[in-house]
Copies of this chain bind each other. A is one copy, B any other.
């Protein structure tokens, strides 16, 4: 029950392109190096992002990728679902035909709420928001707008999970 690595790579890719600016052409090689993504894997991810109208792929020598929209117009949910498909959380909701037992069906209502909440949270953040801080764990100058929209116990949680701090 977690985001796949392909999803993580896609987020990094769009974030990197957002930092360079809308419409700026960046080579695949540069993106791959900067985001620590295997080049050929990035190619596949980029193709999906292009199909979704998030980036444009420029072929040929001096080719590369460029963001097609302003970072404010791209949500985290959109990028993630472009790669891993619509989020459903459980089979019972995703493929109702797989649910042959009425007992299992009893939990539908809860899963639907959980799913909608999760999607709403991811949809509430765009890439300009994400760009506003280098890293939420290290940067002491937190963006107030972001603080409002998300859990303000972030530091505590990160501390709890990883007491030694994040490594580069």
Q: Which residues of B have CB within 8 Å of A1? A: 1-4, 84, 87-89
Query: Which of B102, B112, B118 contacts A158, CB < 8 Å?
Result: B112
On A, residues with C-beta under 8 Å from B are 1-5, 7-8, 11-12, 15-16, 34-36, 76, 84, 87-94, 96-97, 99-114, 116-118, 121-122, 125, 130-131, 133-138, 146, 150-151, 153-154, 157-158, 161-162, 166-168
Across the interface, name the chain B residue whose C-beta is closest to A101. B36
The answer to whether A121 and B113 have CB atoms under 8 Å apart is: yes
Cα A34 to Cα B102 with chains together (Å): 10
Asked if B8 and A92 make an inter-chain contact with CB atoms under 8 angstroms apart, the answer reads yes
Q: Which of B15, B122, B166 contacts A114 (CB under 8 A)?
A: B122
Copy count, this protein chain? 2
List chain B residues, Cβ under 8 A from A12.
101, 103-104
Determine if A109 and B35 form an interchain contact, defined as CB atoms under 8 angstroms apart: no
Q: Please judge, given known A-B contacts A90-B2, A122-B114, whether A168 and B102 are in contact too, CB under 8 Å.
A: yes
Contacts A89-B2, A117-B117 given; does A105 touch B161 at CB 8 Å: no
- Give the residues in chain B near A101, CB-CB below 8 Å: 12, 35-36
